Structure 1
């Protein structure tokens, strides 16, 4: 999660140590690439939706009983 937050906040700040830390806990290069792609896609998608002012479909609204606000 730290890696996802780091590349979300400032993708240019991802240091070699961030990738090395993932490798140290057993991640492969393919897994690191996949994680980077997924985080990048969701960052793109959320920014696009927010910029266009897209409202969620009614069935996508948060149910406070299941997912309370932080």
Structure 2
């Protein structure tokens, strides 16, 4: 989670030390790459949705703790 937060908040600072911490925790380079791709995709998607003002589907209840009103 620390890697995801760091990558989301300041992608330029998510460097060698964060990746090394994942390796020390037993992650392979393939797992680190996959995690980075997924984190990047969701960051892109959320920013696009927020920029366009997309609202959740009607059957989805908004949880204000997770998705606060704009």
Cα RMSD of the aligned pairs, angstroms, is 1.5
Aligned counterpart, 1:6: 6
TM (normalized to structure 2)?
0.86
| Structure with the bigger percentage of helix | 1
Q: TM-score, normalised by structure 1?
A: 0.86
Instruction: Give SS of 1:6's match.
Output: helix
Q: Cα offset for 1:14?
A: 1.0
Q: Distance in 2 between matches of 1:34 and 1:23?
A: 14
Q: Gaps (5+ residues) in structure 2?
A: none
Question: After TM superposition, what 4+ stretches of structure 1 lie above 3 angstroms from structure 2?
Answer: none
